[in-house]
Amino acid sequence: MARLPYADPDRVSEPVREALAAVPPLNVFRMTANAETAFRPWLAFGGALLSSLELDARLRELVILHVARLSGAEYERVQHVPIALAAGATERELAAVESGDLESDALGDAERAVLRFTTEVVQDVRASDDALAAVVEAGFSPREIVELVLVIGQYMMVARVAETAGIELDEPAAVSESAERGRRS
């Protein structure tokens, strides 16, 4: 049982009710809808992170799953494993991230650099000069690095809302084409 009540669609404002009707019926949306004035902008921001980044979708999903692991956020993990697979992540990559084995041969140099960077941002707020240099050396543009930090921050926030509010697990949402955009060939 959730620690906080989910927003009642019959008691929220019309714009929030319309927004809830437009997204999958997931508990994370029902809970976050309690923050009525922030809900729709948050949906837009989250949508941009899942559909409009230069950052590779597969790497984005590995980062989200790493944030979930570092944050102890089961809800986030359950929702994003299918998205990661749809975005091109392999079962071996997912196993390495889930176990925290960032030295796994399932991961390439770019993945290792991004995941180490993610660890430092989550745990230390400021990535070290070495971690930042590693993502630059791996070929990430300033745009991609800032997008990476935004993804990390968004999913740290989602993890904290989910865990603090006690959001109950949903079946994973159907993976949309927009979740796969940005996938590099």
* Average pLDDT over every residue of 105-116: 98
The tens digit of pLDDT for each residue in 140-179 reads 999 999 999 999 999 999 999 999 999 999 888 876 544 4
* Residue 173: predicted pLDDT: 81
Tell me the residue type at 28.
V
* Residue 182: predicted pLDDT: 41
Q: What is the pTM of this model?
A: 0.92
- Domain locations in the chain? 14-50, 54-180
Tell me the residue type at 37.
T
CATH number of the 54-180 domain: 1.20.1290.10
**Measured distance CA(123)–CA(127) in Å, rounded:** 9
